[in-house]
């Protein structure tokens, strides 16, 4: 394993409240020293990080890798390479594969296939068999096989009693239930946010209360059983307030927000670009502002991409027929840097916490830290790298992004996962 020596980087680690410039020596996959305490050996690779930010490895807790079953969209390997290029050293993949990750065989398959991935892959198993919402999976067996958490992903557990049992069982194993909160009776056949824009475009809308009502129910159940509940891809102002109130009461609820909900609104759907179609839908400017505030004040714990690859053929249809979702692994960090950190709406320390420490904590895994003796999971960020979004240069197999042509400031410079370089912008950047 290559010995690495990182020179003159600004180290930012929220777990230790650290913000200082120092050198880092990495050997045998571990951080050996921090500061000018030793000289690199002649065999060490010298990494000049002057002007760069050195942070604990980023973690994306909401990713779709499509394998097994839809390798035409993405594979564990291609998705992991995209993650490394985006600065992530760990990703958690959702259960809606084909077959569904609802048994030990599929969980173990994912872990085995991830053996050659450049970053760590954490399988999230299904709450219910086949995602049908009728019968709980064998949670104990799935935890034994390596499941990091449980979620039916794009399908809410509609049966309240079943969700209660899921939270109780997951609690026994110290695991989190991740819910897609959507009252399907209220969302019905909607394809975008219900409001003035949907009326003007003549598209059926999804009212904000479809999320709000579901979140309120789930919080009530989680409070009753004292279970660990995580709300995926929060999109409404009311949901932010419900989570804030629940946390004030001591309910074990956490939440995530996506970059596309932070930086886009339903106004962009007027283009009828199917890359603006997702669930939950892009909401109003009022909702967007509330999401940013919720992230800043900690009501929303973390940022997750909800990376959802689809083929060009699937997306190249009329808006109402297109599948929901966009890719995000290779743009998340840069979008947050450009729109929030560089504009000083979000501190660098809080950004690192929301994209590294917090998602690991929610998943119950040891968060990476820049500390002597710790495994070297490190992301080096170039805050001044200017680049235009060109999906043809992505490592992901899919190209479905609404951010094509955006000019971003800041990107991953080097990604180190378990002491090995997973991505080096100087040599690995895609050029087409």
Per residue in 327-342, pLDDT tens? 999 999 999 999 999 9
Q: Is the confidence at residue 430, as pLDDT, over 60? A: no
- For residues 237 and 250, what is the distance between their CA atoms, to the nearest angstrom? 20
pLDDT band, residue 198 (cuts 50/70/90): very high
CA–CA distance, 139 with 104 (Å, rounded to integer): 10
> Residue 417: pLDDT above 70?
yes
Note whether 73 and 399 are within 8 A (CB): no
Structural tokens at position 316: 């190249």
What domains, with CATH codes, occur in the chain?
A: 4-54+372-428 (2.30.40.10), 57-363 (3.20.20.140)
Which pLDDT belongs to residue 242? 98
Look over the chain and give the mean of its residue pLDDT values, rounded to a whole number: 96
Share of the chain above pLDDT 70, in %: 99
Place of tokens 């065989």: 105
Tokens of residue 431, six digits: 């050029």
pLDDT band with cut points at 50, 70 and 90 for residue 413? very high
Over residues 206-231, the mean pLDDT reads 98
**57-109 pLDDT, tens digit each:** 999 999 999 999 999 999 999 999 999 999 999 999 999 999 999 999 999 99
- Give the CA radius of gyration of the chain: 21
How buried is residue 373: exposed, middle or buried, by Cβ count under 10 Å (0-12/13-18/19+)? exposed
- How far, in Å, are 62, 98, 226, 395, 397 from residue 428 at the CA level? 24, 31, 46, 10, 16
Buried b (16+ CB within 10 A) or exposed e, 329-368: bbbbbbbbbbbbbbeeebebbbbbbbbbbbbbbbbebebb
For residue 431, the tally of other CB atoms under 10 A from its CB is 5
If one counts every other C-beta atom within 10 angstroms of the C-beta of residue 296, the result is 15
Tokens of 91: 């990703």
pLDDT of residue 431: 44
- Under the banding of pLDDT at 50, 70 and 90, the label for residue 343 is very high
Task: Compute the average pLDDT of residues 12-38.
Answer: 92
Asked if 239 contacts 231 with a C-beta cutoff of 8 angstroms, the reply is yes
Whether pLDDT at 432 is above 70: no
pLDDT for residue 429 is more than 90: no
Q: Residue range 254-268: average pLDDT?
A: 98
Question: One of 102, 266, 306, 382 is an active-site residue; which one?
Answer: 306
**273 catalytic per annotation:** no
Res 36: pLDDT: 78
Q: Is pLDDT above 90 for 38?
A: no
Q: What CA–CA distance (Å, rounded) separates 169 from 332?
A: 33
pLDDT at 43: 87
pLDDT in tens, 285-310: 999 999 999 999 999 999 999 999 99
Q: Contact 287/234 with Cβ under 8 angstroms?
A: no
- pLDDT for 281 beyond 70: yes
Would you state the pLDDT for residue 1?
82
- 8-state DSSP, 43: T
**CB-based contact 118:416 (threshold 8 Å):** no
pLDDT digits (tens, 9 = 90+) for 113-158: 999 999 999 999 999 999 999 999 999 999 999 999 999 999 999 9
């Amino acid at each position: 394993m290559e010995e690495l020596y990182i020179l003159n980087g600004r180290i930012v680690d929220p777990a230790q409240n650290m913000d200082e410039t120092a050198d880092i020596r990495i050997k045998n996959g571990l951080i050996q020293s921090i500061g000018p305490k030793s000289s690199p050996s002649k065999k060490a690779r010298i990494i000049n990080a002057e002007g760069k930010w050195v942070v604990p490895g980023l973690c994306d807790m909401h990713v779709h890798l499509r394998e097994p079953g839809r390798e035409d969209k993405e594979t564990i390997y291609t998705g992991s390479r995209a993650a490394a290029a985006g600065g992530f050293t760990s990703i958690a993949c959702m259960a809606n594969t084909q077959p569904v990750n609802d048994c030990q065989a599929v969980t173990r398959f994912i872990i085995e296939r991830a053996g050659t991935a450049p970053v760590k892959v954490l399988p999230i198993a299904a709450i219910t068999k086949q995602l049908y919402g009728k019968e709980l999976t064998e949670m104990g067996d799935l935890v034994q096989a390596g499941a990091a958490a449980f979620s039916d992903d794009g399908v809410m557990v509609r049966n309240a009693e079943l969700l209660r049992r899921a939270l109780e069982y997951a609690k026994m194993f110290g695991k989190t239930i991740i819910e897609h909160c959507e009252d399907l009776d209220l969302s019905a056949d909607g394809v975008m946010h219900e409001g003035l824009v949907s009326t003007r475009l003549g598209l059926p809308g999804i009212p904000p209360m479809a999320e709000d009502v579901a979140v309120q129910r789930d919080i009530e159940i989680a409070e009753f059983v004292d279970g660990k509940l995580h709300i995926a891809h929060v999109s409404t102002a009311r949901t932010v307030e419900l989570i804030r109130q629940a946390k004030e009461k001591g309910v074990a609820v956490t939440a995530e927000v996506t970059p596309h909900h932070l930086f886009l609104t339903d106004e962009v759907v007027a283009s009828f670009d199917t890359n603006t179609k997702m669930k939950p839908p892009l909401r109003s400017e009022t909702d967007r502002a509330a999401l940013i505030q919720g992230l800043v004040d900690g009501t929303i714990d973390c940022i997750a991409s909800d990376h959802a690859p689809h083929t060009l053929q699937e997306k190249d249809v009329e808006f109402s027929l297109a599948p929901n979702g966009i890719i995000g692994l290779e743009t998340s960090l840069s979008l947050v840097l450009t729109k929030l950190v560089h504009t000083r709406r979000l501190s660098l320390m809080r950004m690192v916490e929301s994209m590294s420490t917090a998602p690991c904590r929610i998943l119950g895994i040891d968060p990476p830290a820049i500390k002597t003796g710790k495994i070297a999971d490190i992301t080096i960020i170039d805050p001044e790298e200017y680049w235009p979004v060109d999906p043809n240069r992505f490592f992901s197999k899919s190209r479905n992004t609404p951010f094509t042509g955006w000019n971003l400031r800041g990107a991953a410079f080097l990604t180190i996962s378990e002491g090995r370089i997973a991505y080096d912008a100087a040599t690995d950047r895609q050029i087409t």
